Amino acid sequence: MAAAASASGGDTPKQLLSIIRDFAYEKSHGERRVSDLRRRLADARAAADAAAAELDAAKRAREAAEQDLRGSQVQAAIAADSILALEATISHLQEEISKAGTDLDALKEFISKMYEMNAKIRQFQQMVSLELAEHNHCEPSTEGQHVRDESKNVDSEGSLKDLADKVSNIEAEVQLLEEEYKKDLLDYDKVREELADVQAKRALMEAVMGETRQLQELGEYPEIYVQSYLFLRISIHISPCFRRSFL
C-alpha cells in the first residue's frame, strides 16, 4: 500500500503538470482565436464602413442622376421643339433658295438678251450713220429734191437721236439689272449660309437628344442592380476566413 501511495503521489504532480500544460495550450489557442476574431471583426467593421460610405456615395450619385434626368427631360422637350422649328426653317430656306435660284437664272438670261439687243441696236445705228454719210456725199439734185432730202436728213437725224436715247436707256436698265443680279446673288449666298448654320444647329440638337436618351436609359436601371453591386463590393472587402465563419 505504501508503494501504491508512493506511485499515486508521483502521478499527481504529473497529472497536474499535464493539466497545466493543457490549460496553457487552450489559453494560448483561445487567445489566438480571440485575436483572430478581433482582427476579422476589425476587417468587417472597416468593410462595413467602406460599404456605408459607398452606399452614401451611390445614393448621392443616384439623386444627382435623377436631378440630371429631370433636367435632361426638360432639355429634351426644348430640343424636340427646337428641332421641329429648325426643320420648318430649313424647309422654308430651301424653298427660298430654289425660288432665288430660278429668279437668278431668269434674270441672267434676260440680261444676256438685253446685251444682244443692245449690240444689234448699235450695229443698226452705225449702219444708218454710214448710209446718211454716203447720201450727203452724193451730187446735188434739184431744189425740190434737195428740200425733200434735207427733210429726210432731219428726220433721219431725229430717228438716230431717238435711237441713241433708247440705247442709253437700255444700257442704264442693263446696269440696274446687273446691280440687282449682284444683290440677289449676295442674298442667295446669305440664305445658303443661314441654311448651313441651321443644319448645324439641328445636328447639335440631335446629338443632345441622343445623350439625353442615354441618360434616361441609365436612370431606368432597377434598384436591385445597385444593391447587388454594393453587396459585391462588401464581399470583396470582407476577408475569406470571416466569410467562412458565416458559412
* pLDDT by 10s per residue, the chain, length 247: 444 445 455 567 778 777 777 777 777 777 788 888 888 888 888 888 888 888 888 888 878 777 777 776 777 677 677 778 877 877 887 787 777 777 777 777 877 777 787 777 778 777 777 766 666 665 554 544 444 555 555 555 566 566 667 666 766 776 777 777 777 777 777 777 877 777 777 777 777 677 666 666 655 554 444 445 445 544 544 444 444 443 4
Its pTM stands at 0.39
Q: How far is CA 88 from CA 83, 149, 197, 202, 211, in A?
A: 9, 72, 14, 11, 23
| CATH class assigned to 51-246 | mainly alpha
The number of helices, as runs of H, and strands, as runs of E, in the chain is: 4, 0
Determine the pLDDT at residue 30: 76
208 Cβ contact list (under 8 Å, min separation 6) = 75, 76, 79
Please give the backbone phi and psi of residue 239, each rounded to the nearest 5 degrees, phi first: -70, 155
d(CA 97, CA 86): 16
Length of the chain: 247
Cα of 91 vs its chain's centroid, Å: 20
Domain residue spans in the chain? 51-246
Annotate 186-212 with DSSP letters as a single string: HHHHHHHHHHHHHHHHHHHHHHHHHHH
Grid-cell match 475569406, residue found: 240
Judged on CB neighbours under 10 Å (0-12, 13-18, 19+), 198 is middle
